[in-house]
Amino acid sequence: MPEVINLSTEIKKQLPVELVSFMQLAGEVAQSKRQNLYLVGGVVRDLLLGRTSFDLDLVLEGDATDLARELIGVKPGKIIIHSRFGTAKLQWDKWSVDLATARSETYVRPGVLPVVKPGSIRDDVFRRDFTINAMAVALNPGRYGQLLALYGGRDDLEHKLIRVLHEKSFIDDATRIWRALRYEQRLNFRLEPATLRLLRRDIPYLDTISGDRIRHELELIFKEEYPEKALRRAEELGVLAKLLPALKVDDWLIERFGRARKLSLPDVPSFGLYLALLAYRLSGEEIEQLISCLRLPKATAQTLRDAVGIKAEIESLSVSGLAPSSICSLLHGYSSPALVANSLAADSPVAGEHIQLFLNVLRYVKPSLTGEDLKRMGVAQGPRIKEILNLLREARLDGKVSSKKDEEEMVFGVGGLGG
């Protein structure tokens, strides 16, 4: 008889009390419908590793949308149903839980989403990426907490191995190649030797995956604590080159990623910033290739293009003692993430400081006088107003005026009144 492992102690210790009582309740309701409910996926792996994770994925041998409706009746919250997929998301203030109908998947063509039909927990776990993610914990009363590690996930966890469930896994879905590197590097595991061989063999299948799906995997990598680890491994195995041959992960990049992380700026999305650094040494043409092969959203594409634009000004920005108004005219109009990327990436420390100064101070400088004030002072409506406001801003930046009175004198001085 194989040893029965029960994780109820780990569940109680590692998950929030509210979620634990919800799972028990869900197990009881499932039982009353004579259906089996399981906790699955990453959270089971993390329970065994002693890591916290609050993403609850539940799988029911039965219609999960029915169970979801019943549960939200008992514990009121928001519910989103996807009848076509037999899945539901339950949401409360602090937590959310995904509920899915156990299913089996058949891959008709590499890289194309599979054909899905209801199945058993065994099927559901078999369709998953790696053995360590292919474990389930029973939630029905009587079996509550029992681990179902049908494909050797527990041994692999112990031996720190990333292993696919079957030899066509990467062909069916080559996004798993990126996923394998992400888990390997996050957990400090190793690719099990046969899996590593399959991964190398199946790298060409990355071409079967849509840009949207590859981008999604990269987004997940950039959410890791140290994204450069998975990227470096991807370079070593030739996975990164498949994205774009010119990309490289070296000490230069690793140092910049480290500094980028320390900044954590609210208006700078980490995906855009990391990607701009990764792409910083590419040519304009290569950047356009990256934008199209990852189908980057407009804002992210703009970040990459802006970063190139700023890079072209680095030489001018490297002059010490540059007037603040000149810094502004070189940098105005560019997006924050592109500016931040350049301040980190520029090889000239002076240029870096000038960009910082612009980001933190100069870009917020405004004259005291407004367009309305100018009109009151007799400036004729029209483009002249904007011109004068610009002159005033530049004078403020360079310390030539420092009060409203100075500004008024300047307006009379430049002949703003008669034009």
- In the complex, which residue's CB is closest to ligand ATP? 42
Which of ligand ATP, Mg ion, none has residue 184 at its interface (CB below 5 to 8 Å by kind)?
A: none
Distance CA 382, CA 233 (A): 59
The structure tokens 């006088």 sit at 369
Q: Which stretch binds Mg ion (CB under 5 A): 47-55, 61-69, 192-200, 326-334?
A: 47-55
Distance CA 331, CA 312 (A): 11
Instruction: Give the number of other Cβ atoms within 10 Å of residue 338's Cβ.
Output: 25
Least distance in angstroms from the C-beta of 345 to Mg ion: 32
115 φψ region: left (φ > 0), alpha (ψ -120 to 50), beta (else)? beta
Q: Which of residues 328-387 bind Mg ion (CB under 5 A)?
A: none
The one-character DSSP state at 130 is B
Is residue 42 close enough to count as binding Mg ion by CB under 5 A?
yes
| Alpha helical stretches, state H, 159-297 | 169-172, 175-187, 193-202, 211-222, 227-237, 239-243, 251-263, 270-279, 284-293
Which of ligand ATP, Mg ion, none has residue 14 at its interface (CB below 5 to 8 Å by kind)?
A: none
Is residue 55 close enough to count as binding Mg ion by CB under 5 A?
yes
Q: What is the DSSP string of 146-178?
A: BEE-TTSHHHHHHTTEE-BSSTTHHHH-THHHH
Q: Tell me the C-alpha to C-alpha distance, in Å, between residue 96 and each of 46, 49, 55, 90, 176.
A: 17, 22, 7, 5, 25
Q: Which stretch binds Mg ion (CB under 5 A): 9-17, 38-46, 302-310, 394-402?
A: 38-46
- In the complex, which residue's CB is closest to Mg ion? 55
The nearer residue to Mg ion, 41 or 324, going by C-beta atoms, is 41
Do 175 and 185 meet the contact criterion of CB atoms below 8 Å apart? no
Identify any residues that bridge with 148 across adjacent strands, giving them in sequence order: 136
The closest alpha carbon to 392, from 357, 359, 354, 365, belongs to: 365
Least distance in angstroms from the C-beta of 15 to ligand ATP: 14
Which of Mg ion, ligand ATP, none has residue 133 at its interface (CB below 5 to 8 Å by kind)?
A: ligand ATP
Least distance in angstroms from the C-beta of 264 to ligand ATP: 20
Least distance in angstroms from the C-beta of 220 to Mg ion: 9
The nearer residue to Mg ion, 55 or 236, going by C-beta atoms, is 55
The closest alpha carbon to 328, from 299, 364, 352, 302, belongs to: 364
The nearer residue to ligand ATP, 38 or 280, going by C-beta atoms, is 38
The nearer residue to ligand ATP, 59 or 391, going by C-beta atoms, is 59
The nearer residue to ligand ATP, 165 or 276, going by C-beta atoms, is 165
Do 383 and 371 meet the contact criterion of CB atoms below 8 Å apart? no
Distance CA 236, CA 387 (A): 54
Q: Which residues bind ligand ATP (CB under 6 A)?
A: 41-42, 53, 55, 57, 128-129, 133, 173, 175-176
Q: Which stretch binds Mg ion (CB under 5 A): 54-62, 201-209, 213-221, 389-397?
A: 54-62
If you compute the radius of gyration of the chain from its CA atoms, what whole number of angstroms results?
A: 28
The nearer residue to Mg ion, 162 or 301, going by C-beta atoms, is 162
Q: Which stretch binds Mg ion (CB under 5 A): 40-48, 115-123, 208-216, 401-409?
A: 40-48
Least distance in angstroms from the C-beta of 33 to ligand ATP: 24
The nearer residue to Mg ion, 42 or 77, going by C-beta atoms, is 42
Q: What spatial distance separates the first Cα and last Cα of the chain, rounded to whole Å?
A: 96
Do 16 and 136 meet the contact criterion of CB atoms below 8 Å apart? no
Least distance in angstroms from the C-beta of 407 to ligand ATP: 55
Least distance in angstroms from the C-beta of 130 to ligand ATP: 7
Which of ligand ATP, Mg ion, none has residue 416 at its interface (CB below 5 to 8 Å by kind)?
A: none
Which of ligand ATP, Mg ion, none has residue 128 at its interface (CB below 5 to 8 Å by kind)?
A: ligand ATP
φ, ψ of residue 146 to 5 degrees: the values are -70, 135
The nearer residue to ligand ATP, 26 or 397, going by C-beta atoms, is 26
The nearer residue to ligand ATP, 39 or 410, going by C-beta atoms, is 39
The structure tokens 């919800």 sit at 22
Contacting residues toward Mg ion, per CB under 5 A:
42, 55
